[in-house]
Amino acid sequence: MSRRGYTLRWTCAHEGCREQYYSVVDYKADYQAAWKRQSEKPWRCLRHDGRGDVLSPTNTCVRTEVPMTVMYHRQFWDRHGFVHGPGFKAWADDFPEGATLIVTAEVVLPAAGDVRDGGQS
């Protein structure tokens, strides 16, 4: 018979947000540690985590620099040997040590007069 584990369920701490976090951990110590972290820094969803990387009509461009790190004679972008996104793939080992990956995402807004409601009306 398997154990049920310990259920973690939180609502985003941003006022008015209803996003939910849900996870099940196997051990009581992990459950207690999660609740300690939650009491010290309440969970926020991706939209409200405060990193400033959410694209919106008032924040149409974000740029991220990922420096290369070297561990165990291997190269990584942050902690990943390979990263990808829309329009690119990059293996860290393909570049010289010390390279920096710069990713830019930009949303181009429609010209005035071309604005549609996006189905949200």
Dihedral of the alpha carbons of 108, 110, 116, 119, in degrees to the nearest 10: -10
Of 6-14, 25-33, 55-63, 97-105, the segment contacting Zn ion by CB under 5 A is 6-14
Render 98-111 in DSSP notation, one character per residue: T-EEEEEEE-PPPP
Q: Which of 17, 24, 33, 107 binds Zn ion (CB under 5 A)?
A: 17
25 sits near Zn ion (criterion: CB under 5 A): no
Distance between CA 42 and CA 11 in Å, rounded? 9
Out of 31, 48, 90, 105, which residue is the one contacting Zn ion (CB under 5 A)? 48
Give the interface with Zn ion as residue ranges (CB under 5 A).
12, 14, 17, 19, 45, 47-48
